Amino acid sequence: MTTTNPVKPTISIDQIVRVYSGRPGCACGCRGNYREDLASFKRSLAKYSGATAVQTDEGDLDLDGNKFVYWRNDQGTRTYTIYYRYNT
Ligand SMILES: [Zn+2]
């Protein structure tokens, strides 16, 4: 179930395994990019800190067993996702 969290999950940089940034719509990668490098993790985490509302699919995990949180920028023109380990 999708929930919009008034309180954002706390995510530290060492939990992040993958980030996504792209235009709204399909998230297969055709409208944006998945990245797995530290510089991209830092960039996404900074945007995440500034995000006013984020969404989670509570209990849902990606294929690798990671949690994820996603949000759009204020203009609604870009969507971001952070995939992170939660049990380390
Ligand atoms: Zn696609």
Each residue of 25-61: pLDDT tens digit? 876 778 999 999 999 999 999 999 999 889 887 778 8
How many A from CA of 32 to the centre of ligand 1? Answer: 9
How many A from CA of 21 to the centre of ligand 1? Answer: 13
How many A from CA of 73 to the centre of ligand 1? Answer: 20
Q: Between residues 36 and 76, which one has the greater pLDDT?
A: 36
How many A from CA of 78 to the centre of ligand 1? Answer: 15
Entry pTM = 0.85
Q: Between residues 82 and 74, which one has the greater pLDDT?
A: 82
How many A from CA of 26 to the centre of ligand 1? Answer: 4
Average pLDDT over residues 13-32: 89
The pairing of beta strand 2-5 with beta strand 79-84: unpaired
Cβ atoms 70, 84 nearer than 8 A = no
Tokens of 41: 């993790």
pLDDT of residue 4: 67
pLDDT of residue 5: 62
Sign of CA dihedral 8, 68, 12, 75: negative
